[in-house]
Structure 1
Amino acid sequence: MKMQVRLKVVVVALCFGLAPAVAAEARLPADVANYVEQREGCDHFRGEIPDPPDQQRMKEFEREIRKLCTGTDKKLVKLKRKYAKNQAVMKRLNEFEEGIESPPASSSW
């Protein structure tokens, strides 16, 4: 019984501890909040490359990186232009590294 009470106290404490971060994200415009979610997923997979490389896991990582990271450079620039006068949005967007996508492969004609 005491363990259940302790567990409830811990869960409540965690919820209150995370509440300010969740509230701040909730105040972001929808397009920015969607970008933040996508980009955080992208950054997660960019930082979790398996070592030593496992071919199956590498395929999974490459697929997720393509899905989540493609277009994020352009989106970040567009959102920064759109919200240039909104300090709260700019503070959040400035947390992301710019230019993470590989440049397009040049075609040899």
Structure 2
Amino acid sequence: MKLLWMSLIVCSTPLISLASTPTDVQYFIERRDGCDHFRGEYPYDEERGRFIAKNLKDLCTGTDKQLKKLRKKYVQQPRIMEKLDEYEEEIELPRK
């Protein structure tokens, strides 16, 4: 299932623009786009709810911190900052 999900991300991401993007930024974009997809999903039954929860945990966890780190690292690179500015600063739920 993870392979299927990753292939969907790759197919839906403009490959030309990612080709010149640093690997760490590409990885962030793939994860956060997947995270954002599942944030908008509706758990219409228990099984679907577990599936969504697992994907949210796998794809979203750590991306807030990663985004802050990338913004600091690439602050002098406007093209990369433009990509990073498309993402919300804080989307993760507070830990209990």
TM-based fold match above 0.5? yes
Q: Using the alignment, how far apart are the partners of 1:48 and 1:37 within structure 2?
A: 17
Matched with 1:22 is 15
Structure 2 gaps of 5+ residues are: 1-13
Q: Which runs of structure 1 show a deviation greater than 4 angstroms over 4 or more consecutive aligned residues?
A: none
How far 1:25 sits from its partner (Å)? 1.3
**Contiguous gaps of at least 5 residues in structure 1:** 1-20
Confirm whether residue 64 of structure 1 aligns to residue 50 of structure 2: no
Q: Which residue identity does 1:102 align to in structure 2?
A: L
TM-score with structure 2 length normalisation? Answer: 0.82
Partner Cα separation in structure 1 for residue 15 and residue 83 of structure 2: 13
Within 5 A, what are the aligned runs for 1:1-109? 21-50=14-43, 53-105=44-96
Q: Residues of 2 paired with 1:49 and 1:35: CA distance?
A: 24
Partner AA of 1:69 in structure 2: C
Structure 1 CA distance for aligned equivalents of residues 42 and 79 of structure 2: 32
The amino acid that maps onto 1:56 is E
User: Between Structure 1 and Structure 2, how many residues are aligned?
Assistant: 84
Shift of 1:87: 0.5
1:22 shift after superposition: 2.0
CA RMSD of aligned residues (A): 1.4
Overall identity of the aligned pairs, in %: 45
Q: Give me the TM-score of the superposition, normalised by structure 1.
A: 0.73
Cα offset for 1:44?
A: 0.6
